[in-house]
Amino acid sequence: MSEGKEINGAEPKAAFLGLDTPFKWLLFLGYIGGWIGRQILMYASKTNGKIEYNYTSVVLLTALLKLVIAIGMYLRDDGSVSDMFAEIKTHAKLAALYMVPAYLYCVYDNLSFTNLDYFDPITYAVLSQLRLIITGVVYQALFNKTLNKEQWMALVLLFFGCAAKEVSKFDANHLAAVPVFGYFLLFTQLSSAVVAGVYNEYLLKGKGSDGEAKASVNLQNIFMYGNSIIGNVLIMSIGIGGRSLSSALQWNNLVPLLNPKVLIVLVLGAVMGMVTGFFLRYLDSMLKAIAGALILVGTAIMAFLIFGSDFGFYTIVSVVLVGYGVYLYSTAGIKKASSSTPPPPQGNKV
**Per-residue pLDDT tens for 53-100?**
666 777 788 889 999 999 999 999 999 999 999 999 999 999 999 999
What would the mean pLDDT of 128-155 be, rounded to a whole number?
Answer: 92
Which residues are CB-contacts of 180 (< 8 A; sequence separation ≥ 6)? none
What would the mean pLDDT of 6-11 be, rounded to a whole number?
Answer: 44
What would the mean pLDDT of 244-267 be, rounded to a whole number?
Answer: 76
Residue type, 334: I
What would the mean pLDDT of 142-161 be, rounded to a whole number?
Answer: 92
Contact 301, 147 (CB under 8 A): no
Q: What percent of the chain is modeled with pLDDT above 90? A: 46
The DSSP line for 267-321 is: HHHHHHHHHHHHHHHHS-HHHHHHHHHHHHHHHHHHHHHHH-----HHHHHHHHH
pLDDT confidence bin for 349, thresholds 50/70/90: very low
CA dihedral 35, 40, 43, 47 (to 10 degrees): -170
The DSSP line for 34-65 is: HHHHHHHHHHHHHHSS-----HHHHHHHHHHH
Q: What integer pLDDT is reported at residue 124 of this predicted model?
A: 83
**Taking 70 as the threshold, does the pLDDT of residue 343 lie above it?**
no
What would the mean pLDDT of 312-324 be, rounded to a whole number?
Answer: 91
From residue 74, give the alpha-carbon distance in Å to each of 52, 146, 278, 282.
34, 35, 13, 18
Contact 192, 104 (CB under 8 A): yes
What would the mean pLDDT of 149-175 be, rounded to a whole number?
Answer: 86
Contact 91, 154 (CB under 8 A): no
CA dihedral 267, 270, 272, 274 (to 10 degrees): -130
φ/ψ (deg, to 5) at 304: -65, -45
The secondary structure of the chain in percent helix, strand, coil, rounded to multiples of 5, reads 75, 0, 25
What would the mean pLDDT of 146-172 be, rounded to a whole number?
Answer: 87
Count how many Cα atoms sit within 13 Å of the Cα of residue 326 in the half-sphere of its side chain: 21
What would the mean pLDDT of 296-320 be, rounded to a whole number?
Answer: 87
Q: Dump pLDDT digits (tens) for 172-210.
A: 777 878 889 999 999 999 999 999 999 999 999 886 555
- Every domain of the chain and the residues it spans: 16-337
Look at 31-35, 74-78, 331-335 and tell me which has the smallest mean pLDDT: 331-335
Residues in the chain: 350
CA 253 to chain centre: 27
Chain mean pLDDT for the chain: 83
**Taking 80 as the threshold, does the pLDDT of residue 113 lie above it?**
no
Look at 242-246, 304-308, 313-317 and tell me which has the smallest mean pLDDT: 242-246
**Taking 80 as the threshold, does the pLDDT of residue 4 lie above it?**
no
